[in-house]
Chain A
Amino acid sequence: MKFKDSLISRRKFLNGVLGGWLAALGATIIQPVIKFIFPPYQEPEEVILPAAEYQLNQPNSFKVFRWGNKPGILKRNDDGSLTAFVAVCTHLDCNVTYLPEQRKFYCACHDGWYDEQGRNIAGPPPQPLRTLEIIEEGENIILRKREKSA
């Protein structure tokens, strides 16, 4: 039914109101569900390692540590400094390993290679390995996420 001067019929109006209401109801249901299916996991901001366990006296020696759900590799360089890598391939996320004899990181998934500074040198990896900031504080070695740019 439609009044003389009205633009839409009563049915259209009611359908619109009901439809809009249903859409809004749907949205309020969907939104929390979408939130729900993504778990609240965050990458750690920092990880603290006991220095005693990570002495690494020999140059070119390394040790694996836990960086959230990923492996990390702490490595003693020839000049005595330490470098911490997130030991995950920048290609498709496989865990890499350090081969001290060859002084290279190796990813077995698709034959990816990085040099001892973590630069991608062969195979598919598109970027160098991520490194972490290292702060040596008495008994502890603190590894911290770098700001985005690095």
Chain B
Amino acid sequence: MPKQNWKEWWEERLGLESIFSFLRHKEVPRHKHTLWYYTGSAILVFFVIQVLTGFLLLLYYKPTLDEAHQSIQRLISEVPYGWLIRSIHHWSATMMIAFVFIHLMSIWLLKSYRKPRELTWMSGVFLLFITLGFGFTGYLLPWDELSLAATKVGTDIPRAIPLVGPWISELLRGGADVTGETLTRFFGLHVSILPMLIIFLLGFHLYLVQKQGMSVPFQGELKKEKLPYHSFWPNFVLRESIFWLILFGILITISVFFPRGLGNPADLLAPTPPGIKPEWYFLFIFQTLKLFPATILGISGETFAILFILAGVILFFFLPVIDNRPTGRKGQIITWAGVTLIIYALVMSIWSLL
């Protein structure tokens, strides 16, 4: 078949030309905040790495009480490059979460969530929680001492939520305690339920981004002038790919020189080893919980703390509703609140490490 016919054959059946032509004409505005656009695709790169290394790990990992730790031990000591694949999976997760935080906060500070991008923000917040869910469930899977203790604490915290708390905790644990049941559950969440959710939400999120085009921070839109732009294909994609390559280089370097270790196997009956800390991205919440006294006004301090955190989460989610001013207006209170949040998280995280 001549090439032209071959193209037509597909076009007749798939009708994808409209999508290609959309991408050929897509423009990415150039201004002093263009840099922040790169954070979104960086997350995607790490996501793809997670999926691929996740597939590989699945070839050897065994999600049961008796075999989980052993299978990881074998993976990192016997399987060729097993240690590296696992290390990449760990560090890529770390970097992905870091970029999710950066991405969200840049959008907060530039007020890109304003009309008509409210749903983009909200789906983004859901994506944040799914990402953290991946981190939390994945942390347990190697089944070592630290991961068991962190999961015990992490799944006990929801218990303090009034009414539904104990129910949530039992649902997560698959019973009253963290046991082999929990491991099986977390594995199912990590490799099946969460991936399905993230694909769905990510698709929605990316669709919205294409539909509405890149948000331009207020100064530009105020003047109503046409900004200079990169055409998305191939100019902007090529620029982005430089950034991706740099990130990939950093990722591999860290993974090789700081390989992810494995602690002693978890023992349900052993006392908790000292030095229990959640992963870094939960530290500021961990520290916040610690700050509350045992009881406040007769209610347990934990309940108070968790309600406080939940309120924060709800405000965060509804940010576009709270700040519903038209695009182009400055919002100093919101900026100020965002900066406060960043400083709070940093200070709390560092504090909890001292």
* Interface positions of A (Cβ within 8 A of B): 37-39, 41, 43, 64, 66, 68-71, 87, 92-97, 106-110, 124, 126
Contacts and interface: CB of A to CB of B under 8 A. Distances in A.
Contacts of B271: 71, 87, 95-97, 106, 108
A63 B94 CA distance: 41
Nearest to B185: A37
Given A43-B176, A92-B153, A108 B274 contact: yes
9 contacts: A38-B171, A71-B268, A87-B271, A95-B149, A95-B269, A108-B273, A109-B153, A109-B272, A126-B295
Interface residues of B, number: 27
Contact of A93 (B152, B273, B290): B152
A108 B275 contact: yes
Given A92-B156, A94-B276, A108-B272, A68 B177 contact: yes
A69 B179 contact: yes
Given A71-B270, A126-B295, A109 B175 contact: no
Return the 3 tightest CB-CB contacts between A and B, nearest first.
Answer: A97-B271, A71-B269, A41-B175
B300 to A, nearest CB: 6
A37 B269 contact: no
B294 A126 contact: yes
Contacts of A69: 175-177, 179, 268
Given A39-B174, A108-B275, 11 more contacts: A39-B175, A41-B181, A69-B175, A87-B271, A92-B152, A93-B178, A94-B272, A94-B276, A96-B272, A108-B271, A124-B290
B294 A110 contact: no
A93 B153 contact: yes
B290 A110 contact: yes
Chain A at the B interface: mostly helix, strand, loop or mixed?
Answer: loop
Contacts of B157: 92
Contacts of B270: 71, 95
A87 B267 CA distance: 14
Interface in B200-236: none
Most chain B Cβ neighbours within 10 Å, of A66, A106, A110: A110
B137 to A, nearest CB: 16
A37 B171 contact: yes
A45 B156 CA distance: 23
A106 B175 CA distance: 25
A112 to B, nearest CB: 10
B170 interface: yes
Contact of B152 (A64, A87, A94): A94
Interface string B268-291: 111111111000000000000010
A43 B170 CA distance: 13
Nearest to A34: B171
Nearest to A72: B269
Contacts of A87: 271
Contacts of A110: 290
B272 A107 contact: yes
A126 B269 contact: no
Contacts of A39: 174-175, 181
A66 B177 CA distance: 13
A107 B156 CA distance: 15
A67 B153 CA distance: 19
Nearest to A89: B272
Interface in B133-155: 149, 152-153
A55 B20 CA distance: 79
B66 to A, nearest CB: 15
A147 B337 CA distance: 50
Contacts of A64: 269
A95 B174 contact: no
B179 A109 contact: no
Contacts of B176: 41, 43, 69
B175 A66 contact: no
